[in-house]
């Protein structure tokens, strides 16, 4: 694994293969589920503020729509690769299936550094992307959403461009929009909230009291920062370490969410927070804490550091933070992992709620969104936990068994294989 470049899509395929073997999947169904059904690669000319034109490259991948329209975010990242997008589209397929919402999996991305672009350049890039991939999109076909370095404002530009192409308002073609443009209440913290509901259920399964439990959070974007806030509010966690792309901070006495957030907003990073010790992202992962929340990018926990991870419960808010080798090590040493495509499915669940509200043009109060999200996540958690216990496998494989079985059933019923 370490002698070659990490490939997230190969990892996603290996995870599927393991589940397919246990489910004794028909070989044709298995092979179909190993690959995206559709891929669109696009080239985007964008007029820059200085009058020059820059060429960007992007993707939209529709992995499998046997259970319903594709659903999945759009990422703006300088290191974006087609294999990352393929892997994320696959995980979206399993994610929608594991929480039992009637959607398939998709993902999109543009290779760019959004931090180096002005607001005008970002808008022109967003609109250029929709002009190219819009033919694949729509409430009945494929519905994007925000992901790494994309925002409600970017979703609004994309919705507006698509609506201009259609000649009428089509709010439901994208989710994660501002409330004024058909967004859903409760969408902002949905990923972290869903993860905290799963953690609460895990504490029941493990008979573990998490009030005051020491917690470290790697990544302090949307998911990580809301996990800090909600982990304290809903469960009573004691967050002692957090990090972002520039590094981390540690204070065994605990870190206050409002103060850390204000510091990051003021300085651009959590590092150098008064009263805390600066630590590296690598050090954060192996702290002696009860709960570890990886909420950054892929491949954070791998065969090199998994043996040193001390947390009893690992709450995967990031996509693909643990490699298959690390999964086995963590399972063997008794760590309880809440796998990514269950744990972070709160975001897509509330995105689905947003699609439903757009479709019938009636909007729910936030309390209703929270109540329905809690029900979906709780049911999904126990279906995965019970499947893993029944087959005596780790939770990620349990989640795959639940999800792949549901997608395979839809594929068979349609007569695809």
Task: For residue 42, give the H/E element and its range.
Answer: strand 38-47
Structure-token pair, residue 305? 């550091």
Question: Do 316 and 192 form a contact (C-beta atoms < 8 A)?
Answer: no
Residue found under tokens 């043009």: 361
Burial 342-375 (b: 16+ CB within 10 A, else e): bbbbbbbbbbbbbbebbeeeebbeeeebbebbbe
**Nearest alpha carbon to residue 313 among 292, 330, 299, 295:** 292
Question: For residue 33, what are the contacts with CB-CB under 8 A and spacing of at least 6?
Answer: 16, 20, 25, 64, 404, 407, 408, 411
Rg over CA atoms, the chain: 21
Could you tell me the sign of the dihedral formed by the alpha carbons of 274, 280, 285, 289, in that order? negative
**Nearest alpha carbon to residue 8 among 269, 297, 331, 308:** 297
d(CA 237, CA 56): 43
d(CA 138, CA 146): 16
Burial 299-334 (b: 16+ CB within 10 A, else e): bbbbeeebeebebbbbbbbbbbbbbbbbbebbbeee
- Candidate list 4, 71, 95, 107, residue with the active-site label: 107
Burial 177-191 (b: 16+ CB within 10 A, else e): beeebbbbbbbbbbb
SS (H, E, C) 117-153: CCHHHHHHHHHHHHHHHHHHCECCCEEEEECCCCCHH
Q: Is 246 noted as a catalytic residue in this protein?
A: no
Residues annotated as catalytic (active site), given as ranges:
107
């Amino acid at each position: 694994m370490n002698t070659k470049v990490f490939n997230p899509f190969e990892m996603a395929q290996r995870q599927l293969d393991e589940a397919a073997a246990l489910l004794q999947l028909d070989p044709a169904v298995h092979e179909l589920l190993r690959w995206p059904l559709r891929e669109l690669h696009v080239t985007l000319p964008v007029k820059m503020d200085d009058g020059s034109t820059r060429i960007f490259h992007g993707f939209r991948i529709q992995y499998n729509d046997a259970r319903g329209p594709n659903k999945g975010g759009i990422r703006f990242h300088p290191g974006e690769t087609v294999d990352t997008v393929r892997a994320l589209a696959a995980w979206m397929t399993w994610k929608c299936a594991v929480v039992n919402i009637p959607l398939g999996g998709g993902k999109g991305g543009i290779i760019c550094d959004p931090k180096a672009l002005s607001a005008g350049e970002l808008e022109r890039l967003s609109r250029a992307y929709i002009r190219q991939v819009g033919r694949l999109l729509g409430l009945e076909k494929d519905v994007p959403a925000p992901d790494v370095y994309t925002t409600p404002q970017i979703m609004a530009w994309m919705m507006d461009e698509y609506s201009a192409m259609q000649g009428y308002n089509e709010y439901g073609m994208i989710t994660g929009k501002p409330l004024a443009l058909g967004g859903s209440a409760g969408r902002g913290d949905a990923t972290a909230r869903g993860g905290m509901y799963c953690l609460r259920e895990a504490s029941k399964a493990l008979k573990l009291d998490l009030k005051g439990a020491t917690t470290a959070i790697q990544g302090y974007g949307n998911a990580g920062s809301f996990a800090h806030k909600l982990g304290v509010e809903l469960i009573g966690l004691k967050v002692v370490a957090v990090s972002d792309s520039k590094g981390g901070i540690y204070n065994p006495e605990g870190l206050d969410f409002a103060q850390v957030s204000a510091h990051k907003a003021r300085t651009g990073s959590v590092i150098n927070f008064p009263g805390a010790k600066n630590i590296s992202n690598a050090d954060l992962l192996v702290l002696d804490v009860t709960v570890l929340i990886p909420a950054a990018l892929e491949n954070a926990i791998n065969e090199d550091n998994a043996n040193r991870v001390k947390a009893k419960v690992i709450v995967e808010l990031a996509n693909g933070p643990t490699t298959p080798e690390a999964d086995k090590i963590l399972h063997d040493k008794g760590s309880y992992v809440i796998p990514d495509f269950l744990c972070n499915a709160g975001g897509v669940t509330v995105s689905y709620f947003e699609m439903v509200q757009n479709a019938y043009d009636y909007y729910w109060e936030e309390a209703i969104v929270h109540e329905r999200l809690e029900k979906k996540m709780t049911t999904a958690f126990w279906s995965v936990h019970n499947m893993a216990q029944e087959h005596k496998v780790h939770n990620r494989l349990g989640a795959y068994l639940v999800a792949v079985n549901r997608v395979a059933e839809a594929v068979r019923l349609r007569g695809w294989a």
